[in-house]
Structure 1
Amino acid sequence: MKFAIFGDIHANLEALQTVLWDAQEQGCANYVCLGDIVGYAANPVECLETVRQMGCPVVRGNHDEGAASDSTLDELNPLAQAALLWTRQQLNDDQRQWLRELKLVRQVRDFTIVHSTLDSPGAWGYVTNRFDAMASFSYQFTQVCFYGHTHVPRIFEKDDSVRAARGNDVTLQRGVKYFVNVGSVGQPRDGDWRAAYAIYDVQAQTISIRRLEYDIQTAQDKIRAAGLPSLLAERLALGK
């Protein structure tokens, strides 16, 4: 049994389609979405409907919440604000309601999923180092938890101590917990522009993060054609 774990799509349809095609080629029969389906890029409706029609477990991200509400977006940077204000105009009431009803934390089979942190999932904190991870491990009651939000793939391990794993592939060990960031489908920020997602092989007890090239030029052209800030298109190629 293989799970494709993906998130931070950010309305990048070309990247999402590439990830879903690759997951099928890799033999994944199960899919899980870690949120932030919308925001930044130019296909929020298509990405939302793709994920919704899959019927897979999904948790809410901060951009999903921002797009679904009518609240001010003062806590976000100007690029994120501009994209979400535009996104609100693209989504219909039913789509925004679907985003509002997504849970912040879910358990899927024997693992947990969350967009940001387990200790305070609605505060949208970032887990970027082992000290950040410690707080979430205190609330983790399954061996594995998958998260997103930082757009940087990273695996933290906890037994007698908390540490960052070497590399982005791991074989699960008895007595060790794992807090796994699967990276971003639509807007990576680790200097690598390729789409990222993870495969959790339940039988083999392995987690592997994959990177895929996609039609980035089309995604950039769509952002510009929509009248969104050009920097949103430019940053895709930089992986930032």
Structure 2
Amino acid sequence: MKYAILGDIHSNLEALTAVLADAKEQAVTHYACVGDVVGYNANPVECVNLVREASPTVVRGNHDHYCSHDDNLSGFHPLAADAVDWTRKQLPEEMRLYLRKLKLVGMLESFTLVHSTLDMPEMWGYVFDKLEAEAHFHYQTTNVCFFGHTHVPLAFEKSDSVRCGLYTRIQVARGKKYFINVGSVGQPRDGDPRAAYAIYDLIRNQVELRRVGYDFRITQKKILDAGLPGRVAARLAVGR
């Protein structure tokens, strides 16, 4: 059994289509999503439809939350707020209701899904270091937990202490806990513009980070044509 774990798709249809094609080539059997299907880019409806078709297990990210509610956006970065406001107007009410009802935490087989952290997931905290991961591990009951939110594929491993680092492949060992960021499908921020996702092979107990190229110029044109901020389009070329 092989799971493709996707996250931070952010309405990037070209990246999502490329990732789904790659996952099929890798003989993936199941799909799951750590949230933020929408936001930033120009194809929210199409991306929600594709994710719903691929996976019944999706957790809610902060952009999913704010795009499906009418909450005040005063605390948001202006770029993100502009995109949220635009996305709210694109989504039909049925789709907003779907996003609104997504759970903050999901359980599948022997692993957990969360967008940000199990330490108060509704606060959308960012996990970049070992101290923040330690707070999360206090609440993790499964061997493996996948997350997103930072758009940076980092892995944290806990045994007697917490270790942190970049990864391409992880052999999951008994007696340890793993908190693994799957990177971003639609807006990478680690300096690599290729779409990122992870494959979890439950038979081999192995997690692999996948990078998939796509024509981001198409996505950029859609962003600009929609009147979304030019900086949102520009960052796709550099992965920042």
Q: Which structure 1 residue ranges, 5 or more long, are not aligned?
A: none
Residues 155 and 168, structure 1, Cα contact 8 Å, conserved in 2: no
**AA of the residue aligned to 2:204:** A
Instruction: Say if 1:138 and 1:221 are closer, same or farther in 2 by CA, change over 3 A.
Output: same
The residue type equivalent to 1:227 in the other structure is: G
Alignment of 1:118-157 (within 5 A): 118-157=118-157
**Residues 119, 135 of structure 1: 8 Å contact kept:** yes
Number of the residue aligned with 2:13: 13
Which runs of structure 1 show a deviation greater than 4 angstroms over 4 or more consecutive aligned residues? none
Q: CA deviation at 1:56?
A: 2.5
Alignment-derived partner of residue 86 in structure 1 = 86
Alpha-carbon distance, 1:215 to partner: 1.2
Supply the AA of the counterpart residue of 1:84: V
The offset of 1:22, in angstroms, is: 0.3
The answer to whether the 8 Å contact 2:32/2:55 transfers is no
Q: 1:114-148, CA deviations, whole angstroms, 9 ceiling, x for partnerless residues?
A: 00010110100000011110011000000000000
Aligned position for 1:164: 164
1:63 and 1:172 mapped to 2: Cα distance?
A: 30
Structure 2: stretches of 5+ with no match in the other structure: none
Q: Give CA-to-partner distance per residue, 1:182-207, whole Å, 9 cap, x none.
A: 00000000111100000000111100
| CA-CA distance at 1:52 after TM superposition | 1.4
Question: What CA distance in whole angstroms lies between the structure 1 residues aligned with 2:109 and 2:141?
Answer: 13
What RMSD over aligned residues (CA atoms) do the two structures have, in Å? 0.8
Aligned to 2:238: 238
Conserved in 2, the CA contact under 8 Å of 1:154 and 1:168? no
Cα shift at 1:66: 0.5
- Three-state SS of the structure 2 residue aligned to 1:63 is helix
5 Å matches for 1:32-111? 32-111=32-111
Q: TM-score, normalised by structure 1?
A: 0.98
Distance 2:183 2:39 in 1: 16
Measure, in 1, the Cα distance between the counterparts of 2:171 and 2:71. Answer: 43
3-state SS of 1:82 partner: helix
Letter in 1 for 2:106: R
Q: Distance in 1 between matches of 2:117 and 2:9?
A: 18
Could you tell me the percent identity over the aligned residues? Answer: 56
Q: Do 1:184 and 1:197's aligned partners in 2 also have CA atoms closer than 8 Å? A: yes
**Offset at residue 166 of structure 1 (A):** 5.3
Q: In structure 2, what is the Cα distance between the partners aligned to 1:197 and 1:157? A: 19
Q: Which amino acid aligns with 1:180?
A: I
| C-alpha distance in structure 1 between counterparts of 2:7 and 2:167, whole Å | 19
